[in-house]
Structure 1
Amino acid sequence: MTDLAQRIQDELIQALERDQLILPTLPEVALRIREAAENPDIGINELAREISNDTALSARLIKVVNSPLLRSRQEITDLNMAVNRLGVVYTANLATGLAMAQLFQATTDIIDRRMREVWARSTEVAGISHVLCRHYTDLKSDQAMLAGLVHLIGVLPILSYAEENSQLLEDATALDLIIERIHPVIGDRILEAWDFPQPLRHVPSQHIDFNRNPDRVDYADIVQVAMLQSVAGTEHPHAMLDWTQISSFARLGLNPASDEEEEDLSAEMEAAMQLLN
């Protein structure tokens, strides 16, 4: 590791430990929707009214509900119908995911490009996670999708730091090393600050722990398998691992040595990946 990368990494870790690292906050609209959804007495009309305060988000929700993945026989034409179709919790999770796209923007071209790349990877993994969850687990597909969206959330503060540090901005290798080493721990801290559900809070760190062996399948397993499938056939280091030794596949009931399951679900996965784009 270069001296620059080591120094910056140490600075970021110290700032995190002292609660001095500026963490991203959920967009206001997402906070309001999640707060509303936590009210046990919330109704379809009330939640739809809260979402309707953001016209762009409302339009995207309706578009998503009419997508091939979620479409029913009846076309959804308004927000009340969309919320009724999805349910309160699913709607809140989906709205959170859609709103998160606002976070992945920057003022410098280099960092903006990187942030968009991270968002693209996150939506791809989220889409695959959604489909894997539906077909191979009893867990909630909306939660799995959200888990996929936030598995790289710890990269954001590092890129924001780089935007203010010209040395790091000009050293792509050092920046990549820092991201690889510390984004998981920062990601966990962000999800804790956002008060995310406990089953999702450690997805950023656990999805890259290839030796973990929980008693039953969980969201980190789903994201781990989705992430690995997203890099299959590339030169990514994780694509070079012996997947038959990674137990998350077995917990999902998948055979990593066979492509049949993925081929059968490829169209559905493609549709899921378009949900958040």
Structure 2
Amino acid sequence: MDRLEIFRNIASQAGRGELVFPANVSASIKLQQALSDPDCHLEQAAKLVMAEPLVSARTVAIANSAAYNRSGGEINNVRVAVMRLGFRTLNTITTSVIVRQLGRTISNPAMRIKAAQLWEHCAHVAATAHVLTAKLTNGDPETAMFAGIVHEVGGFYLLSRTDEFPDLLAGGVEDWAEYGEKMIGRAVLKKLGVPQPVTEAIESLWHGVRVLPPVTIGDVLLLAKELSPVPSPFQRTVAEAGIGGESLVDDYIGDQSLRGLLDDSEEQIRSLTTALLV
């Protein structure tokens, strides 16, 4: 079976819901489902989170980030962090751990590097989308952060299959764009139970039409993606695409330049990105 045939088969299997997840990812999906149970209360949620070290560490880190900890008082235990963040953010954190775990199961060193780059890109996009949504639109920052975390989840899934199919990505990003992005991405989003508003924002991102000033979360997501200092390994770089960076920050959003807004928000974006990278 040649590389393109393997690629098409994986995309076709994903389209039918036949997804292959490592054991640690399956365990985190069960945690996500437990936290999504309407009968799960915050005390029970705290106990569930404390049983998962990766989720616990990220929960405390995000609760202490500038975006969530306006008072400056440091939180050093999971229970208080869960109480501060609530279920929606907790669901986002659990999903971020699932996405990250897909990359950590890879044994091929080159593919592990790609997965690490992809996660760093997603963390930047998620943090930037959270802050810009709050400051530029009437949209929900939590939805924007969730969308930033999962917008490349299909790429993580594909990277997780490269141990089984070592030459899968030998053709570069063109194969991903042509055969896999939307079909695989949609299938994994569905498996993770991603809410419809998040899926709609990501679908909007795939169309790739920049709107300035941004109106929807999809608009913000595209802007945040272009502004990310770390490009996705599944896309052309900002420089190659002729977008982003200096040209974007010189555009005006309302009465304030984007550069000024980003300067004012630098600490919030930095601390939230750092928390997501824990």
Q: Same fold (TM over 0.5)?
A: yes
Q: Which runs of 5+ in 2 are unaligned?
A: 232-236
Q: Partner residue of 2:266?
A: 266
TM-score (norm 1): 0.78
- Residues 101 and 119, structure 1, Cα contact 8 Å, conserved in 2: yes
User: What value does the CA root-mean-square deviation take over the aligned residues?
Assistant: 3.4
Q: Partner residue of 1:235?
A: 239
1:212 CA displacement: 8.4
Q: Partner residue of 2:82?
A: 83
Q: Partner residue of 2:50?
A: 52
Give the secondary-structure state (helix, strand or coil) at the position aligned to 1:119.
helix
Task: Give aligned pairs, total.
Answer: 262
Q: How does 1:128-207 map to 2 (within 5 A)?
A: 128-168=128-168, 171=170, 174-181=171-178, 182-207=180-205
- Residues 125 and 230, structure 1, Cα contact 8 Å, conserved in 2: yes
1:224 CA displacement: 1.2
Give the secondary-structure state (helix, strand or coil) at the position aligned to 1:121.
helix
Amino acid at match of 1:132: L
Judging changes above 3 Å, is the alpha-carbon distance between structure 1 residues 139 and 168 closer, same or farther for their aligned structure 2 residues? Answer: same
- Residues 57 and 99, structure 1, Cα contact 8 Å, conserved in 2: no
Q: Partner residue of 1:68?
A: 66
CA distance in 2, matches of 1:15, 1:125: 29
CA distance in 2, matches of 1:99, 1:165: 21
Q: Partner residue of 2:102?
A: 103
1:149 CA displacement: 0.8
Judging changes above 3 Å, is the alpha-carbon distance between structure 1 residues 178 and 210 closer, same or farther for their aligned structure 2 residues? Answer: same
CA distance in 2, matches of 1:203, 1:23: 25
- Residues 54 and 97, structure 2, Cα contact 8 Å, conserved in 1: no
Judging changes above 3 Å, is the alpha-carbon distance between structure 1 residues 8 and 206 closer, same or farther for their aligned structure 2 residues? Answer: farther
Structure with the larger RCO, 1 or 2 (CA within 8 Å, 6+ apart): 2
1:82 CA displacement: 1.1
Amino acid at match of 2:239: E
CA distance in 2, matches of 1:197, 1:24: 23
Judging changes above 3 Å, is the alpha-carbon distance between structure 1 residues 262 and 102 closer, same or farther for their aligned structure 2 residues? Answer: same
**Cα deviations across residues 112-161 of structure 1 (Å, max 9, x unaligned)?**
11111111111111111111122123333222111101111111232234
Give the secondary-structure state (helix, strand or coil) at the position aligned to 1:60.
helix
Give the secondary-structure state (helix, strand or coil) at the position aligned to 2:193.
coil
Amino acid at match of 2:113: R
CA distance in 1, matches of 2:242, 2:13: 29
Give the secondary-structure state (helix, strand or coil) at the position aligned to 1:138.
coil
CA distance in 2, matches of 1:16, 1:37: 24
- Residues 99 and 150, structure 2, Cα contact 8 Å, conserved in 1: no
1:17 CA displacement: 4.0
Amino acid at match of 2:67: L
Q: Which runs of 5+ in 1 are unaligned?
A: none
**Cα deviations across residues 189-217 of structure 1 (Å, max 9, x unaligned)?**
2111222111112444421313488xx94
CA distance in 2, matches of 1:77, 1:13: 43
Q: 2:208 aligns with which of 204, 207, 210?
A: 210
Amino acid at match of 2:58: R
CA distance in 2, matches of 1:132, 1:159: 29
